[in-house]
């Protein structure tokens, strides 16, 4: 990428990424992060500013990024901070976005998604007085908090449910970008399916191999329809905004979907068995809270079923769909949380194979 195109990319990133609900009015659309006019959502002047750099798909993906943005906006209300969020058009814009926030004096910068690992590794050491947090990536450093989740545990749980609910004995998994993180979802899901029904089969597809795979609903629908044509009657997606197409497919064919990250049960009421909750909202909220209370701590922390950092959603949209399975699901949840069930972990498997 040329210097000129990089600058244009960064400019686009800030231009499209800031939403009126998360920042104060500015004197012009081009006003920079950290401008003196920034205020909290409550309208009070804020001593603390937080920069939020979202992953591909943006805060309207109703999944991963939406969860992060929800946690940050709740923190705006509770701690009277000034929040600036950006949505970058491509991976090359992550590093300059993080750097711009740091140069403008933001004390806390939160990077959402593993795609920002390299960018955080480059920028964080150059600004040792700035605190950074990254979701879904481990970055060592005295000023970096790495927020990790046990996705495989929740995937096992919803896989167990999928097998219980399936009438055909065939269920589906649709991943977004083919990367180790989503393979981790897949492996946990497949193990849960087999634990509930050893004879069940899992159909697997991925939307793509680059970051555009998170924002391609039409391809998500195409893959889901293909799996349904092969008799899959429950499909779990871990595909960001591409998963919206999965919901369209199951509604059209009267099958069932399982949502991911955020509670997506209301997307197609009566057609979503549950959603595997990855409480990115809680993690983002807590790191902002720590910063606001001057107790930020670097290092890696994990969120799983035991502390409800991972969970499954039950509400008015799905409680009748899964009422017959709740008791067994709760038993499996407890067994995973206390270690009675050991869920296979793609990360550990990959590490052992590489030795």
pLDDT score, position 33: 33
Burial, 252: exposed, middle or buried (Cβ in 10 Å; 0-12, 13-18, 19+)? middle
**Is the domain of 125 the same as that of 157?**
no
* Residue 64 and residue 81 in one domain: yes
| Domain identity same for 78 and 144 | yes
Three-state DSSP at 144 gives: strand
**Residue 334 to residue 211: CA distance in whole angstroms:** 35
Does 314 map to a domain? no
Q: Are 81 and 288 in contact (CB under 8 A)?
A: yes
What pairs with residue 102 in β-bridges? none
Q: For residues 125 and 166, give the distance between their C-alpha atoms in angstroms, rounded to a whole number.
A: 50
Is 319 a domain residue?
no
The pLDDT, as a whole number, for residue 11 is 44
Q: What are the residues whose beta carbons fall under 8 Å from the beta carbon of 143, sequence distance 6 or more?
A: 124, 127, 128, 129, 130, 131, 132, 298
Domain count, the chain: 2
Exposed e or buried b per residue across 182-204, where buried means at least 16 C-beta atoms within 10 angstroms of its C-beta: bbbbbbbbbbbbbbbbeebbbbe
Q: Which pLDDT value is given to residue 246?
A: 98
Angle between helices 3-17 and 94-103 (to 10 degrees): 70
Tell me the CATH number at 200: 3.40.50.2300
- Do residues 11 and 70 touch, judged by C-beta distance below 8 A? no
Q: Looking at the structure, do residues 140 and 50 belong to the same domain, yes or no? A: yes
Instruction: Record the pTM.
Output: 0.83
Residue among 251, 200, 202, 187 at smallest CA distance from 225: 251
Both tokens assigned to 23: 């920042």
Q: What is the pLDDT of residue 355?
A: 63
| Residue 204 maps to a domain | yes
The answer to whether position 329 is within a domain reads yes
Shared domain for 134 and 61, answered yes or no, is: yes
Q: How far apart are the C-alpha atoms of 256 and 243, rounded to whole Å?
A: 13
Taking only the tens of pLDDT, the chain with its 355 residues reads: 333 443 444 444 444 333 333 443 222 222 333 332 343 443 333 569 999 999 877 888 888 999 999 999 999 999 989 999 999 888 899 999 999 999 999 999 999 999 999 999 999 999 999 999 999 999 999 999 999 999 999 999 999 999 999 999 999 999 999 999 999 999 999 999 999 999 999 999 999 999 899 999 999 999 999 999 999 999 999 999 999 999 999 999 999 999 999 999 999 999 999 999 999 999 999 999 999 999 999 999 999 999 999 999 999 999 999 999 999 999 999 999 999 999 999 999 887 776 6
Do 106 and 51 share a domain, yes or no? Answer: yes
Domain membership of residue 233 (yes or no) is: yes
- First CA to last CA distance, the chain: 35
Q: In sequence order, what are the residues at sequence separation of 6 or more whose Cβ sits closer than 8 angstroms to the Cβ of residue 341? A: 156, 195, 332, 335
User: Got the DSSP string for 169-210?
Assistant: SEEEEEEEE-SHHHHHHHHHHHHHHHHH-TT-EEEEEEEESS
CA distance 235 to 216: 17
In a domain, 85, yes or no: yes
d(CA 304, CA 278): 9
Residues contacting residue 242 through CB under 8 Å, at least 6 positions apart: 174, 176, 207, 213, 214, 215, 216, 217, 219, 220
Show the tokens assigned to 242: 């591409």
CB 50 within 8 A of CB 72: yes
- Domain extent at residue 24: 3-149+280-303
The predicted pLDDT at position 41 comes to 40
Query: Is 315 within the bounds of a domain?
Result: no
State whether 222 and 339 are in the same domain: yes
Are both 24 and 169 inside the same structural domain?
no
**Do 192 and 212 share a domain, yes or no?**
yes
Neighbours of 36 (CB within 10 A): 9
Nearest Cα to Cα of residue 309 among 161, 139, 135: 135
Does 316 fall in a domain? Answer: no
State whether 105 and 242 are in the same domain.
no
Q: Which residues pair with 131 in a beta bridge?
A: 108
CA–CA gap between residue 137 and residue 111 (Å, rounded): 9
Residues 141 and 22 in one domain: yes
24 and 73 co-located in one domain: yes
């Amino acid at each position: 990428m040329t210097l000129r195109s990089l600058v244009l990319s960064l400019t686009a990133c800030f231009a499209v990424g800031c939403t009126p609900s998360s920042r104060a009015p500015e004197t012009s659309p081009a006003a920079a992060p950290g401008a003196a006019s920034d205020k909290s959502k409550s309208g009070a002047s804020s001593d603390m500013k937080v920069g939020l750099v979202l992953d591909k798909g943006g805060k309207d993906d109703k999944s991963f990024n939406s969860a992060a943005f929800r946690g940050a906006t709740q923190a705006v209300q509770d701690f009277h901070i000034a929040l600036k969020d950006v949505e970058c058009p491509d991976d090359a814009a992550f590093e300059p976005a993080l750097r711009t926030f740091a140069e403008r004096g933001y004390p806390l910068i939160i990077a959402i998604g593993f795609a920002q690992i390299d960018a955080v590794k480059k920028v964080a050491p150059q600004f040792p007085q700035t605190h950074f947090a990254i979701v879904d990536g481990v970055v060592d450093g005295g000023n970096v908090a790495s927020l990790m989740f046990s996705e495989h545990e929740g995937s096992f749980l919803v896989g167990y449910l999928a097998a219980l609910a399936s009438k055909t004995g065939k269920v589906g998994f649709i991943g977004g970008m083919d990367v180790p993180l989503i393979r981790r979802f897949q492996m946990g899901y497949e193990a849960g399916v087999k634990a509930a029904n050893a004879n069940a089969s899992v159909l697997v597809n991925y939307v793509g191999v680059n970051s555009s795979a998170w924002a391609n609903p039409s391809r998500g629908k195409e893959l889901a329809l293909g799996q349904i044509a092969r008799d899959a009657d429950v499909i779990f997606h871990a595909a960001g905004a591409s998963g919206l197409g999965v919901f369209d497919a199951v509604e059209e064919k009267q099958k069932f979907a399982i949502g991911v990250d955020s509670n997506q049960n209301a997307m197609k009421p009566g057609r979503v068995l549950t959603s595997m909750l990855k409480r990115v909202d809680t993690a983002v909220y807590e790191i902002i809270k720590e910063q606001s209370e001057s107790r930020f701590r670097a290092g890696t922390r994990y969120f799983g079923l035991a502390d409800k950092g991972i969970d499954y959603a039950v509400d008015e949209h799905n409680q009748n769909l899964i009422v017959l399975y709740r008791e067994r699901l709760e038993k499996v949840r407890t067994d995973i949380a206390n270690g009675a069930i050991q869920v296979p972990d793609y990360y550990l498997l990959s590490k052992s194979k590489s030795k």
